[in-house]
Structure 1
């Protein structure tokens, strides 16, 4: 898309008259006129890259979307790992089968012991860990608030700079407008004086012409006598 340079000449800090009757209606009419003249083509977004709807999808999300698309129910949580089944009926006298059951029992017992240990650690250190987590959140909040204050200060400085520049430009514009009005008024006075001089010259020319005619007539009369 070819970029078009746009010159923004708005001076909101010094411009007046926005609340006057008819101004809003005129602005809306200009916008509507622009909308009528803007005719987007079928491929008016061709300068943009194609939309990638799966940019943030993971393998798990894709599997879930596929499951939902075919209306399959969600797999239930398997509790088989927590069971302690005995050997099958055909292997009740098999030592290796019973060894597997014993190993499974040891694994389940170790798992439960680990859970109990984690609960004990949580009871002893959970409050301190939670306090430490809250303190870290408070530090993050303080840093974020400081960044927000810096951004607000920067925005305020930009606004003050814009206001200062616009007020300075407003003073210069008012001075130039006053100078322009003065020059236009002086030009009008000069043009009026020129018109008056032309009229005087015209009258003087007519008087001079009349005197010449009278003089010529007098000379002609003297010669006849």
Structure 2
């Protein structure tokens, strides 16, 4: 098959019609034929899907994930999160006023952070349960929608398969196969009859040759008799004269 002539050809099968695939050794034979055919279709969509681009760039819109993916690709160890900012430690130089000022600012930040955590916990305790119930309700609604869509797709696939089966005319193929078998039988009968007639014709020709040969032999004997008659008359006259 020429790929340029049929660029959009998709190899398909009719498992509900082609029952021969279940015969012993048939599947291996079919797989071999398909493999040979696919080798000719180097530019097919199947080969394009298998030839995944090597320069594909992941996480274009997420620099953080892109950096992490690059780190994993390079085999580098993960960088631990810096927790020093969450520690309340006194400065090393206790005489340095600026260091103490930074330590106090850090303690205020930690206190504000803890205050915000307590506030968030109070909000979670007050509204968290209802928020989760609402979220679960939304998820259940989405699940129902997905299930409905899935069922519609399944029904569509079922109808499509029925349509394909009708269009591919399984009964018509079986009828044509029966007709083909009947015609093959009739052709064999005609061939046998022809062979019989040819044999009879050869026998008739042989009989004709035999009859011709016999007729020629009879004609030759008659000619010999005719030639011998004058000689007998001459001999009779000579005997009279004597």
TM-score, normalising length: structure 2: 0.61
Higher relative contact order, chain-length normalized (CA < 8 Å, sep 6+): 1
Cα gap change, 1:171 to 1:219, in 2 (>3 Å): same
CA distance in 1, matches of 2:110, 2:10: 75
1:36-85 deviations in Å (ceiling 9; x for gaps): xx9xxxxxx9x94663587456213445666x64x6x8535415345375
- Post-superposition shift, 1:126? 1.0
Q: 1:83 aligns with which of 85, 88, 102?
A: 88
Task: Tell me if 1:170 matches 2:174.
Answer: yes
Matched with 1:143 is 145
Identify if the C-alpha distance between structure 1 residues 7 and 150 changes in structure 2 by more than 3 Å, giving closer, same or farther: closer
Q: 2:210 aligns with which of 189, 195, 206?
A: 206
Mapped contact 1:84–1:105 kept (Cα < 8 A): no
8 Å CA contact 1:91, 1:97 repeated in 2: yes
Paired residue secondary structure (1:90): coil
Select which of 112, 115, 123 maps to 1:121: 123
Unmatched runs of 5 consecutive residues or more in structure 1: 39-44
Q: Partners in 1 of 2:18 and 2:52 — Cα distance?
A: 41
Query: What is the number of residues matched between the two proteins?
Result: 204
Aligned-partner Cα distance in 1 for 2:135–2:174: 54
Q: Distance in 2 between matches of 1:158 and 1:98?
A: 76
Cα distance change, pair 205–11 in 1 and its aligned pair in 2 (3 A): farther
- 1:169-188 matches, within 5 Å, as 169-188=173-192
> 5+ unaligned residues in a row in structure 2: which ranges?
40-46, 60-64, 230-242
Tell me which residue corresponds to 1:194. 198
Aligned to 1:111: 113
Per the alignment, residue 24 of structure 1 pairs with 25
Candidates 152, 155, 174, aligned match of 1:153? 155
Give the structure with higher Rg (CA).
Answer: 2
Paired residue for 1:51?
54
**Are the aligned partners of 1:14 and 1:166 in contact in 2 as well (CA < 8 Å)?**
no
Paired residues of 1:87 and 1:98 also in contact (CA < 8 A):
no
Under a length normalisation based on structure 1, what TM-score does the superposition of the two structures give? 0.64
Distance 2:174 2:187 in 1: 19
Supply the RMSD in Å over aligned alpha carbons: 4.4
Mark the CA change 1:50 to 1:148 in structure 2 (over 3 Å): closer, same or farther: closer
